[in-house]
Amino acid sequence: MNELFKESEAKMKKTVEVIQSELAAVRAGRANPAVLDKIKIDYYGVMTPVSQIGSVSIPEPRTLVIQPWDASALKAVEKAIMSSDLGINPGNDGKVIRLNFPQLTEERRKELIKQIHKTGEDGKVAIRNLRRDANERLKTMKKKSEITEDDLKSMEKDVQDITDKYCKEIDEMVVIKEKELMAV
Amino acid, single-letter form, for residue 37: D
Give 41-104 as a DSSP string. EEETTEEEEGGGTEEEEEEETTEEEEEESSGGGHHHHHHHHHHSTT----EE-SS-EEEE-PPP
Predicted pLDDT at 121: 95
- All domains of the chain, ordered by start, with CATH? 2-24+105-182 (1.10.132.20), 33-100 (3.30.1360.40)
Share of the chain above pLDDT 90, in %: 32
Q: Is residue 184 scored above 60 in pLDDT?
A: no
More confident residue, 63 or 136: 136
Torsion, Cα of 5, 7, 9, 11 (10° steps): -150
Please tell me whether the overall predicted TM-score, pTM, comes out greater than 0.85 for this model. Answer: no
The alpha carbon dihedral of 139, 157, 13, 128 has a sign of positive
